[in-house]
A and B are shown apart, each in its own frame.
Chain A
Amino acid sequence: RKEVEQDPGPFNVPEGATVAFNCTYSNSASQSFFWYRQDCRKEPKLLMSVYSSGNEDGRFTAQLNRASQYISLLIRDSKLSDSATYLCVVNPFGNEKLTFGTGTRLTIIP
């Protein structure tokens, strides 16, 4: 089993819709969780950290489910500019090594 797994998509979603995707991780001792956004041929950029209690930043909500070992990202009222690949990042060993999922590709359709 991979350390971090994501559905690669693509998710094709109409503008204004709500979309959610999950990321599962294998190491139950994982301590830190993040969502990064990567535009085509660009570097990844931090979208948001994921806290145990769940957190929200505008239209974006991230949640952590430790019992089932997954994190989720919910995007409400999707915009064309949300089209990107969303990368799940986990720190599985509590050290300085972070592990990336393969990413979920999202396309918002006008």
Chain B
Amino acid sequence: DGGITQSPKYLFRKEGQNVTLSCEQNLNHDAMYWYRQDPGQGLRLIYYSQIVNDFQKGDIAEGYSVSREKKESFPLTVTSAQKNPTAFYLCASKNRGPSSGANVLTFGAGSRLTVL
């Protein structure tokens, strides 16, 4: 079955450490996204990528980095520069294009990061 796989599901990190969250999709989607969700809050866009080897900052990119070397993969690194990294991280993908159907996001199950 096609879908998005995020790993790890739970991650604990000490302050000052970088961590990388994996996101892999087999939906053949061009666009991929990383969102952050804090308790009781909506989703905030960190980074997104429309094609391989290209990505754009979202609304809260500071302290994060991404790469898009392959169409199916969009890993997110949470660096030590991110001051409040404890959150639920969601990866999503979709087809590109103006139609309503092309704008439907499919999400992975999420990665829950806790900084100790």
Q: A residues engaging B (CB < 8 A)?
A: 8, 31-32, 34, 36, 41-46, 49, 51, 87, 89, 91, 94, 96-103
Q: Which residues of A contact B103 (CB under 8 A)?
A: 32, 34, 91, 98
Cα distance A46–B101 in the bound complex, in angstroms: 11
Contact A96 B104 (CB under 8 A): no
Which of the residues B35, B48, B100 comes within 8 Å of A32, measured between beta carbons?
A: B100
Number of cross-chain contacts by CB at 8 Å: 52
Say how far A90's CB is from chain B's closest CB, in angstroms.
10
Q: Ordered nearest first, which 6 A-B pairs have the shortest CB separation?
A: A102-B42, A43-B107, A100-B43, A32-B103, A100-B42, A96-B31
**Residues of B26-57 contacting chain A, CB below 8 A:** 31, 35, 40-45, 48, 50, 56
B19 contacts chain A at the CB level, 8 A cutoff: no
